[in-house]
Amino acid sequence: MTKPNNMKQYTSKTAMRRDTFSGIVLSLVLLFSSAGLSLAQDSSKVKPRKNVVRFNLTNPMIFGEKSLLVGYERVIGKHMSASINGGQASFRKPTLSVFNFTDSSRIVLDKDYTDKGFTIALDYRFYLKKENKYNSPHGVYIGPYYSITHFERENNWNMSSPHFSGNLKTNLNMNIQMVGIEMGYQFILWKRVALDFILIGPGVTFYNIKTQISTQLDGDENGELLDALKNAIVEKVPGFSNFADNLEFEKSGSTNTMSMGFRYVIHLGFNF
């Protein structure tokens, strides 16, 4: 019986994606730091603008083009603000397009699948008075954050093997909650353009995962399918690989676990 692809292959792909993203973040920070020094206006000459509407650039890069989030930040003090962000969350197109259970069997994903979800994130920012030349929402900030992400994925599969031929259905329902502390910098360029980098965001992540498989597969093949689903989640969800080796999925049931997580986000917005 052929085993699923090694977990390390999925983890290495995720690590490569994160390394690439980290390099992009660093390059953008350096670029806009120099731009901010030359283009930012003296806060004493600029009328305070207390609102920022923005778009999350990070989620589409990590979770796919269907993961679209918008946000609103409101200054509530000379050096404080609060924000809410939310929108559609989605996994990328499933990577389990072809999965071998035995040397002569195949399982393929039909085009018929449903995918939906949402993300809501809240944060409260303290713009550091001693570190900033400008009033909020411009400058270095720290503060607490909370986010919740919900994914639902229903896949229909077509399988042909020596022991089973027909259709099977898998349901995956995942809730991810995260709470932590973030640190970042928001540039206000050309008086209106807000470029926000959340660079450091350690926190605790709580996972609730529900799985259900409708099939007549035997125990061994069920186990391989569940392992394949777990590997797909490892590839798509940042931080999940930290504890996935010790996590067992069930054919039908719920799994709860927690781990340390990390938040990093780039927002592009408009200050008014």
| Local structure of 24: helix, strand or coil | helix
CA distance 238 to 63: 9
In a domain, 2, yes or no: no
Please indicate, yes or no, if residue 240 is contained in any of the structural domains. yes
Contacts of 112 (CB under 8 A, 6+ apart): 156
CA atoms of 92 and 219, how far apart (whole Å):
28
Domain hosting residue 91, numbered range: 7-271
In this structure, is residue 1 part of a structural domain? no
Helix (H, G, I), strand (E, B) or coil at 37: helix
Residue 87 in any domain: the answer is yes
**How far apart are alpha carbons 264 and 30 in whole angstroms?**
16
- Note down pLDDT in tens along the chain; length 272 residues: 333 444 344 345 444 555 555 556 555 555 555 544 444 444 445 577 999 999 999 988 877 778 899 999 999 988 999 999 999 988 665 554 445 555 445 556 555 677 889 999 999 999 998 888 888 999 999 999 999 999 888 877 766 666 566 677 778 788 999 999 999 999 999 989 999 999 999 999 998 988 777 766 666 666 666 666 667 666 666 656 655 565 555 666 677 888 888 899 999 999 99
Q: Examine residue 116 and state whether it is found in any structural domain, yes or no.
A: yes
Which regions of the chain does DSSP assign to beta strands (E)? 51-56, 68-77, 80-88, 98-99, 106-127, 139-160, 165-189, 193-200, 202-214, 252-262, 265-271
Q: Is residue 210 part of a domain?
A: yes
* Total structural domains within the chain: 1
